[in-house]
Structure 1
Amino acid sequence: MLVSGAVANGKTELLRTFVDRNNSGEAIFLSATATAADREIPFGVLRQLLECTPVSAEGIEELISPEDELETVRRVTAALLEVSGTAPLVVIVDDVHHTDEPSMDCLLRLTIRSRSTRTMLMLAESAYDWSMHPSYRIELVRQTHFRRIRLAPLSVTGVSEMVTQHLGREAARSLACEVHEATGGNQLLVRALIEDHGDAVETFERDSRVAGESFRQAVLTCLQRSGPDALAVARALAVLDSAASSDRVAKLIGRDPDVVTRLLHALHALGLLDGDCFRNPLGRAAVYDDLPGTELARLHTGAAQLLRQGAGDAIEVAEHLVAAKSVRADWAIGELRRAAEEALAVDDDAAAIKYVEFALSVCTEARQRAQLRMLLIRAEWRKDPGAAARHLTALFQEQRDGHLDADQTAALVRYVMWHGRTEEATEALDQLVRLRPTVNEPLGSLLSSTRHWLSHAYPHFLPADIDGAPVPQADSAAAPPAQQDQAAAVLSAVLSQGDGDGRCTRVAEQILQGTPLTDNSLEAITSAVQTLVYGERLPLAARWCDMLLAEAEARGVTWWHAVFSACRAEIAIRNGELVDAERHAARALDLIGPDGWGVAIGVPLGALLYTATAMGDFESARKYLKEPVPSAMFHTRYGLAYQRARGRYYLATDRLQAALADFRYCGELMTAWGLDAPALVPWRSDSAEVHLRLGDYERAQQLAQEQMSLSGSPKSRTHGASLRVLAATTGHRGRLRLLKESVEVLQVSGDRLTLTQALYDLSRVHQVLGEFGKARMISRRAGRLAKECRVQRMQEQSAPSHEQPLMLVPDEGDTRKQPGTPARQAADMLTLSERKVAALASLGYTNREISGKLHITVSTVEQHLTKIFRKLKVKGRTDLPVELEFHAASTA
C-alpha cells in the first residue's frame, strides 16, 4: 500500500493510527522514516527497519555489507521473509521518496515476494515529490496486490470537527470557514491556527482570529519538509507577490519552468497557494520574514531586473529595489526616478519620497544627485513646503556647480523666492539667462514666464535684463509648455493695465478649460484664477476655484489644497462673504502652517486679519497681528494684502495715522512696480476714508476720483466702492445721488460688505433729509446684510476722528414682524420687469425716477407696483422683502 498526499495532510498520522489499532495482536511491526539525508547513506532506511527486530547490532552489521549491495539485499530480504514465517510482518516506511537506492531495492524485492507470505508493506510519500526512480514506482504499481491511498486536504466539515474538538462547537460555527479558507484544509496549518486562537483568547486580544507564531512555524515546517526546491519557489513567490508567475519564478531562482510548475502544484496542495499567490497574507509574511538578508537582497534585485526587462510597472520595480536595501546596478537610479514621477502622477507623495530618498542614498554621480534632489523637493513640497526648504542650500550649491539645467534653475528660483531667500534667487536669476535651452521648453519662453511671474509676484526683485513677451490674445494657440508663460503674462497685464476689454480674463478662462491640474501646471492655473479675480469676474473665479479645491482635496495634495483655499478666501472677501473667507483662510494656514507659506503668508494671514476687523473681532485681529512674518514679504505682492488688512484694523481702532501710513506704502509700492490696479488693492479709497475721518474732504475727494478713473468698467466693484467714498465728500443731495448709483453698482458686482456700508450711508442721508420711511426701509436691508456678513459695526465715513463707530441697528428699533414674502421666493414670483421696478422702489426711488431709469412711463411703473404689492401681499414699498434688490440683480 502506498499512501500519498501533501506534507502535513495526515500520512504519518494514518500510519500511526494503523499501528496503534493493530499493535495488540501477534503481528510484528517494523518502521522507518526516511529523510533527505538518507538518500546519500546506503542501507540507511534498511538499518532502521532491522533495528526494530530482535537482531543484535552485530547481527545487523553482518547482514549489511556496503561492499556487496546485491548480496546484502538478498540476505536482508531472506531474513525478513523468515520473520514473516513466524508472525504477520508489517513493514512501514514514511517519506519513502527519500529512501536510498539499496534500501529501495530491498523493499521492492520484498514487495515481489510478499504475495505468498504473511507480509504487508505500507509506504508513504509526498504526492508531488517523485524523486523515487520511475522503475521502482512502475514495479510497485504492476503488483496485483498493490493499493494506493490518496489523502486529500480536510473539507470544511473536517476543519469544523477539529475546531470543535479543541475549541468547542460555538467556535467551530464561527471559525470553521475562515480557517479552511486560510489553510486549504492542511491539517498542520489548521492545528496551528487553533493554537493561535487559543493563545489569543487567553491573552484577551481583541481580534482572536489573527494568526500568530504557531501558524508561522507551521508554514515554515511545511516548506522545509517539502524540500529545498519547494522552499526556494515559496521564497520567490513571497518576493514577487502579486507579480508572481511560473515563468518569473523559474527565471528568478534559475530552475526549469516545468519543475517550477510541478512545485507550484505541490505548494497549492499544501494549502499555501491560491493560484500563483499565497492563500493567506500571513503565510507570505512568514516566508518573507524568514529570508536571510543576503538572499532577500538578491531576490529583490533579481525581481526588479525581471520586471524591468518585461516592461513592468516602474513602481513595482522601485519597490523591489527599495526592499533590496542595497543596489549597485547602473539602471536602478533611472528606474527609481521614473517610479517617483509615476507615483507623483497618481498623487502618492509618500512613495515618491521613499524612492527618491533611497536613490539618493545609493547614487554617487553629482549631476544625478542634483536631479534627484529637485524631484525630492517637489515631492515634499506637495505636503509641507516648510520641511522641503531644508534641501534648498544643497540645491543652490549644485546649481552653482552647474548640475541644474534652465528648467530646474527657474524652479529653484521660485522655491527660494517663496521662502524669502532673495540673495540666492538673484544669483540664480543671473545664471538663468546664461544657461542653454532645455528640451522641454525654449529658453526664451522660460525667461519670459519667469519675468512675468516676477513682475506680478516679486516685482521688487525683477532683473532688468530678462525680457518679457507681449500679452497673448484670446483664442491664440499655445503649446502646453507655454501655458505658464501665457498665464503669468495675462495676470501681469491685468494688474498693470487693467482688463477693460476683457481680453485677459478670456485668455485666463481658456487656460483653465484646457489645463489639467498637475504640479507643473499649478502656477499657470493659480495665475489664471487670480486674473479672473483681479479682472472683476468673481462668480466665474469662485466657480473655478471651488472645482479646483474639490479636486485638490479629493487627490489629497495638501499644497494645492492650501493654495486654492487662500485664493478662495480672497474671493470671499471681495464678495463680502466674511464667514467663508475666515474659514478658507484658516484652512489654508492649518494645512501647511506659517513656515510653509513663506513670504506668501500675507495672503491667508491678511485675509484672517481683514475678516476679524470687519466683523469687529479686534481681539482675534490683534492675535493675527502678533504672528511673525518674514521681512521679505513686504517687498512682494503677498505683502500688499497683509498691509491693507493691517491698515483696515488701524482705521477701525482709530489709529488713523498708522492706517494712512500702511495705505500710502501700498500705493508707493504698487506705483513703483507698475501694478497700480485698484482691483488688486484699492489703496486710494482706503486712504480717502482716513482723510474723511481727519476732516480733509478735498484730499479724500481727489483720491476717490483718481480711483474711479483707474477702475475701468463703471460697473466694477471698485467703481461702486469709489462712488461710496466720493459721496461722503459732497452735500446731502449730491451724496444721495452718488450713493444710489453706488448701491446699484455694488448690487450687480456682488460685493455684499461694501453694499452693506453703502446702504447704511444711504439710510443716514434719507434720515438727514427727513425721509424717515425710506431711511428705515434701507436701514433694515443694511442690517440684514450686516447680519449675514457678521458685521457688528458700521463706521460713517464723515464721522470725526474722535467718534466711536456707531452700532448698526437692523431696523432702527422697529422689531415688529414685517409682512410679505422672503426675497428669493419673491424674486421667483415676479417677472423680470417687475423685479427691476421692485428693486429700485426698495431703494427709495420715486415712480418718476424709476420711469426715467427704466425708460418706461410713470403709469407703467404704477401698474407694476400694484401687481408687485398684490403678488407679494404687502401694503407698500416699505414692506418689500429685505434684499429683494440683491437677489433681483443676481437673477438678472
Structure 2
Amino acid sequence: MALTERTDELSILEEMLSECRRGVGQLALISGPAGCGKTEVLDAFAERATQAGVLLLSATAKRSGAEVPFDVLVQLFGGGAAPGRLRAQMDTFVDAVPWTTPGDAAGTQALRILYAELLAWTADRPLVIMVDDVQCADHESLRELLDLASRLRRTPTLFVFTQSDDENATAALIQAELLRNEHWRRIDLTLLSVEGVAALVRAQTDTQHDPAPLPLSAADIHRLSGGNPLLVRAVLDDIRAADPRRPDRAFGQALVACLHRSSPETLAVARGVAVLGRPTGVPLLADLVELGREQTRTALRRLELAGLVTGGNFRNPASGAAVLADLRPEARSWLHQRAAELLYLQGASASTVARHLLETGETRQRWTQRLLREAAEVATASDDLDFASDCLSLALESSLDDHERVSALVRLAGVVWRRNPVAAVRHVFLLIEPSRRGLLSARQVTAVAKSLVWHGMTGEAMEVIEATGRRGGLGGPGGERRDGELGMIQRWLRSWHPPLAKMVPDPPQQPESLDGADLADGRLLGAALLSEVLTRGAEDVVRRAEDILRGCGTEVDETTLEPAESALLALLYSDQAERALTWCEPLLAAASERYAPTWNARLEAIRGEIALYQGDLPNAARYARAALDRIAPRGWGVAVGAPLATYIQATTMMGDLDAAGVYAKAPVPQEMFKTRFGLRYLYARGLYLAACERWHVALSDLLTCGELAVEWEMDVPSFVPWRGAAARLYLERGDRDRAQKLANAQLARAKQGLTRTAGITLRAMAACSGTRGGMPLLRQAVDALHASGDRFELASALADLHQLHQAMGERQRANAVFQQAVRLATECRAEPLRRSLLHQSSDEHAESMVTKQPNGGLVKLSRAERRVTALAATGHTNREIAQKLYITVSTVEQHLTKAYRKLNVTNRADLAAACMPTMADSA
C-alpha cells in the first residue's frame, strides 16, 4: 500500500531500530486521528524490520477485547510469529492463571518465566514488539506491557505502540509511564496536504492501471476528505464504483469506521452534528448529546484534526447521512426530538424545528401544532410543497383537537391540490364530515365546495354548503361573513355550474351590501364579473377586469390565481383577446417560476384559449396540450373541457383530424356537461365532427350546446357562437330557412362593440343571404374581424369574399382577396382552409402568386416555369400538370427543379408560403 507524506516517520522508526542494535531499548508512540494511517505506518515498518532479521511480535487491541484479561499479551506471545518456546510458556501462563482472580502467585511465576525466555531471545538479535491501538488494550495486558518495557529498556528491544488522539484514562496512563523512559519518542501523524492527496491519487491510479481522468481534482478530494488518507481512498473507491444508487457508499463506511475507532464522546458529538445538520455552537451541541461543554469542545477538535469536520459541520455532505444511518431508529428519533425541543426553546425558526419533528414521526406536545402549521406556510410560500405536506400531515396525525385537525386538513388539501388535484381528493373528501359538524369556517366551506365541484362531486358539495347554512344560522353571529361566502359560492357556481347555482339559497344579505373589506375581496369581484359577462353581459368590463388584475399583481399564489383567471376570461369573452394576452403573459411567466403544476396548467389553458381567439392555431394547440400534459385529464375534473375544447378546435382548424380525434373520443366526466366547460367541449366537438363530414352528430352537438346555453342563461355568442356553426351545417343540408333564423338570432344576441363576435355572426348571415345580399355583410365581417385580430376567422371571411367576387366575375378583386386569404391561412397553419382556397382558385389567381417575392421584387421565372409552379402550389400532381399544359412529366420536373432553386425551396410544402406576396392593405 502506498504511503504518502510518511517518510519522515518511517525514518525515525528505523533510527530507533539502529539504536536498539547497540543495546539501548527504545519505545515509540505513534499518535494521530483515526484514519490517518497509523496502522499503515506500523505495517510498513514491520515489513522493513522483518527484512532486517529482527524478531517481530505484534498485536492489535480491540474495544471488544478490552474485557478479556491478557488478550493482547496472548496475541503477542501466543501467536504464530512467536518462537515455539515462547508460545509454550504463554500456554503455561494461560493455564496457570485463574481468570477470576488475576495476579495470583501461579500467574506471576508463569510471567517471570515468560519474560526470562523473552530476555534470552534478545541476546541473539533485536526484538520489536508492536501493539496497534494500544489505548483499547485490556487493563491486565497494558499493565504487563508497561512493566515489560521498563524491564527491557537496557536490551535491544523496540516497543512501537499506536494510539488515537482521544484523551482518556488509558491514554493518560500510557503517557505517564512513557515519560519515565528516557529513550521514547512520540510520532504524531497529521492530515495530508493537497499535494499529498495528489500523490496518493496518482499512486492509487497506477495501482489500478486506470488511465481515465478523475472527475474530481486533488483539491476537490482534499476538500471532501480533509486529507484523511482513509477517506481519500474511500472517495476514490466511490468514483470508480460510480453507482448512482449509492454514490458515497465507500466514503460512508470509512467515515463510520473512523468514528467507531474514536472515543465514545467523539462518536456522540459526531452524531449530534449529524442530527443538527448545521453549525450551532458548543452549548446546544453539548445539551443535545448530554456532555459537558469542555468535553464537547474537545471532541469537536478531535473531529477537526481527523479531517471530518470543519467550522462545526461535516466537510462532506454525505457524512451526516452515513452517521444517521448508523444510528438505531429509536436513538435517532430521540435525538431529533431533543433537538426540536432545544431549538424551540432557543427561538429557532419554525422550519428548522419542524424538520426535526418530522424525523421523530410523532409529537403530542401542544406547541408543535402551531409550529408545524407555521413551517408549512413558509414552505408553501417558497414552493417546498413536499416539506409543507409533511408538516401538515404530521400535524394532522398527532393532534387531538378537532379544530386543529380540520385546520391542518384544509391546508393540506390546498397544498396537495397545487401539485396534483387527483391526490387532493381524498383529503377534500375527509372534510365533508367535519362540515356536517360545523367545524369549518365560512371560507373553508367555500374552498371545500369548489374542490368537490371541480371533481364532479356536486351532491357532496351541496351537502357541505347546506350543512354550513343550517348550523351557522344565517344572519346570526358571524352571519355577515357567512352570507358573503355563500354569495361568493353562488356567483362562482353561476359561471361554473349553473344548475348547481340555482340550488344554493340566496343569502339574506346580498354581496352588493357587504362591507368594504368584502367588496375588496378579489374572489368575489372576479366571480361576479365573469358571471355577468357569461349571462346578461357586463358594463365597463375592461376597466373592472384590469382593476382586478392590477390588484392581483404579477405574482401568482392561492389568493390571486382564481380572480386573475376570472378577469382574464371576462376580457376574452368580451372580445378583448389582445388585452387578455397582455395580462396573461406575465402571470404565466410568474407561475412557471413556481413549483405549482396546477397553477401552471390552468394559466396555460387560458393562454391556449386566448391564442384560439386570435387565430393563432399552433400556439392554441401547444398551450392546450401542455396544460393536459401537466395535469392528467382525471386531475382536471370537470374543467378538463377547457383545454380539451381548445385543442380539439385548434387541431381541427389545422386539419389534423387524427390528433383532434384522439381527444374528441377520450372519455370525459359526465358532470362536465352540466358546466360551462361542457358547452365549450360540445361546440369544439361539433366542429370536429363537421370536419369529419358527420353532419348529423355534429349538428346534434351544436344544438345540445345551444339548448344548455339557453337553459342556463349563458347564451353569449362571444363565448360559444353555436348558432353560426349550426347555420352553416343547415346550409350544407340545404335548409336555408333554419340557417337564416339561427344567424339572425345570433346577430340579435351579439352585444355592440364585440368586433370578433360581430364578424363571425355577419359572416354566418352572409352565407345565408346569397351572392348580392352577402357581399355587404361579408365586407362588414372582414372589417370587424380585421379589427378583432382573429387571423383565422379573418382568413375564413376573406375566403368567402373571394368566392363571391369570383361568382360575380370580379377577377381582379377576387385575386387580391385570394392572396390575402391564402397568406393568412398559411400563417395560421389552417391547412384545410388553404387547400380549399387553392383548389377553388383559377389558374390566373394561382399564377399571380408566383409573380412577386414577399419583398416585392420580381421572381425571375420564365412564363412556362411560372405556370407549372402555380399549378404545383395549388396541389396538382406532376402528371395532372402535364395533362393540363400538354407537356411531358419530364418537362414538368425540369421546370419545377429550376423554380425550386430560384425560390430557394426544397419541397411543395414550402412552395405556397414562398410564393406569397405581402398582404394587401384591403380587400
Q: Does 1:755 align with 2:787?
A: no
Deviation at 1:746, TM superposition (A): 1.0
CA distance in 2, matches of 1:561, 1:696: 45
AA in 1 matched with 2:442: A
Q: Which residue of 2 aligns with 1:186?
A: 228
AA in 1 matched with 2:163: E
Deviates more, 1:354-363 or 1:627-636: 354-363
Q: Which residue of 1 aligns with 2:553?
A: 514
AA in 2 matched with 1:221: A
CA distance in 2, matches of 1:262, 1:612: 72
1:3 alignment partner, one of 30, 33, 41: 30
Q: Does 1:526 align with 2:526?
A: no
2:259 alignment partner, one of 216, 223, 246: 223
Q: CA offsets per residue over residues 93-116 of structure 1, 9 Å max, x none?
A: 554545688987888888899988
TM-score, reference length from structure 2: 0.75
Deviates more, 1:124-133 or 1:742-751: 124-133
Deviation at 1:324, TM superposition (A): 3.4
AA in 2 matched with 1:262: T
Structure 1 contact 792–807 (Cα < 8 Å) conserved: no
Q: Which residue of 1 aligns with 2:675?
A: 636
Structure 1 contact 159–180 (Cα < 8 Å) conserved: no
CA distance in 2, matches of 1:766, 1:194: 81
Deviates more, 1:661-670 or 1:443-452: 661-670
Q: Which residue of 1 aligns with 2:272?
A: 236
Q: Which residue of 2 aligns with 1:741?
A: 780
Q: Helix, strand or coil: the match of 1:815?
A: helix
AA in 2 matched with 1:570: E
Mapping of 1:72-471 within 5 angstroms?
94-98=132-136, 122-132=160-170, 137=175, 147-154=185-192, 155-156=196-197, 158-160=199-201, 162-163=203-204, 166-168=207-209, 170=211, 177=218, 180-190=222-232, 200=241, 212=249, 216-242=252-278, 246-357=282-393, 359-360=395-396, 362=398, 365-434=401-470, 442-462=481-501, 463-466=504-507
1:681 alignment partner, one of 720, 745, 750: 720
Evaluate the alpha carbon distance shift between residue 405 and residue 483 of structure 1 in structure 2; reply closer, same or farther with a 3 A threshold: same
Q: Helix, strand or coil: the match of 1:814?
A: helix
Q: CA offsets per residue over residues 372-402 of structure 1, 9 Å max, x none?
A: 4333432332333234334444332332233
Mapping of 1:722-741 within 5 angstroms?
722-730=761-769, 732-741=771-780
The RMSD of aligned alpha carbons is 4.8
Deviation at 1:534, TM superposition (A): 1.3
Deviation at 1:68, TM superposition (A): 11
Q: Helix, strand or coil: the match of 1:7?
A: coil
CA distance in 1, matches of 2:215, 2:245: 12
Structure 1 contact 38–44 (Cα < 8 Å) conserved: yes
CA distance in 1, matches of 2:512, 2:222: 71
AA in 1 matched with 2:29: L
Q: CA offsets per residue over residues 264-304 of structure 1, 9 Å max, x none?
A: 22223333334433333444444332222221222232333
Deviation at 1:532, TM superposition (A): 1.3
AA in 2 matched with 1:300: H
2:847 alignment partner, one of 787, 798, 815: 815
Evaluate the alpha carbon distance shift between residue 810 and residue 752 of structure 1 in structure 2; reply closer, same or farther with a 3 A threshold: farther
Deviates more, 1:560-569 or 1:440-449: 440-449
CA distance in 2, matches of 1:192, 1:288: 18
Deviation at 1:539, TM superposition (A): 0.9
5+ long unaligned stretches in structure 1:
796-803, 826-878
CA distance in 2, matches of 1:349, 1:272: 33
CA distance in 2, matches of 1:105, 1:692: 113
AA in 2 matched with 1:3: I
Deviation at 1:537, TM superposition (A): 1.4
CA distance in 1, matches of 2:214, 2:725: 77
Deviation at 1:530, TM superposition (A): 0.6
AA in 2 matched with 1:402: G
Deviation at 1:749, TM superposition (A): 0.6
Q: Does 1:590 align with 2:604?
A: no
Deviates more, 1:28-37 or 1:727-736: 28-37
Evaluate the alpha carbon distance shift between residue 714 and residue 104 of structure 1 in structure 2; reply closer, same or farther with a 3 A threshold: closer
CA distance in 2, matches of 1:727, 1:514: 44
CA distance in 1, matches of 2:657, 2:98: 108
CA distance in 2, matches of 1:560, 1:758: 36
Q: Does 1:773 align with 2:809?
A: no
TM-score, reference length from structure 1: 0.77
Structure 1 contact 167–194 (Cα < 8 Å) conserved: no
Q: Does 1:565 align with 2:611?
A: no
CA distance in 1, matches of 2:191, 2:727: 91
Structure 1 contact 97–129 (Cα < 8 Å) conserved: no
Mapping of 1:803-842 within 5 angstroms?
808-809=840-841, 813-819=845-851, 822=854
Deviation at 1:538, TM superposition (A): 0.5
Q: Which residue of 2 aligns with 1:828?
A: none
Structure 2 contact 379–387 (Cα < 8 Å) conserved: yes
Q: Helix, strand or coil: the match of 2:255?
A: helix
Q: CA offsets per residue over residues 481-503 of structure 1, 9 Å max, x none?
A: 71111111221222234345345
Evaluate the alpha carbon distance shift between residue 139 and residue 810 of structure 1 in structure 2; reply closer, same or farther with a 3 A threshold: farther
Evaluate the alpha carbon distance shift between residue 813 and residue 82 of structure 1 in structure 2; reply closer, same or farther with a 3 A threshold: closer
Deviation at 1:506, TM superposition (A): 4.4
AA in 2 matched with 1:446: E
Mapping of 1:593-742 within 5 angstroms?
593-617=632-656, 623-649=662-688, 662-690=701-729, 703-714=742-753, 716-730=755-769, 732-742=771-781
Q: Helix, strand or coil: the match of 2:187?
A: strand
CA distance in 2, matches of 1:884, 1:561: 39
Over the matched positions of the two proteins, sequence identity in percent amounts to 36
Deviation at 1:330, TM superposition (A): 4.5
Q: Which residue of 1 aligns with 2:822?
A: 783
Structure 1 contact 472–489 (Cα < 8 Å) conserved: no
Structure 2 contact 728–739 (Cα < 8 Å) conserved: yes
Q: Does 1:541 align with 2:580?
A: yes
Structure 1 contact 340–352 (Cα < 8 Å) conserved: yes
CA distance in 2, matches of 1:292, 1:453: 53
Structure 1 contact 568–581 (Cα < 8 Å) conserved: yes
Deviates more, 1:758-767 or 1:331-340: 331-340
CA distance in 2, matches of 1:286, 1:17: 30
Deviates more, 1:163-172 or 1:636-645: 163-172
Q: Helix, strand or coil: the match of 1:402?
A: coil
CA distance in 2, matches of 1:62, 1:355: 62
AA in 2 matched with 1:814: A
Q: Which residue of 2 aligns with 1:884?
A: 920
Deviation at 1:531, TM superposition (A): 1.3
Evaluate the alpha carbon distance shift between residue 779 and residue 265 of structure 1 in structure 2; reply closer, same or farther with a 3 A threshold: same
CA distance in 2, matches of 1:279, 1:171: 26
Deviation at 1:739, TM superposition (A): 2.1
Deviation at 1:641, TM superposition (A): 0.9
AA in 1 matched with 2:458: T
CA distance in 2, matches of 1:349, 1:231: 35
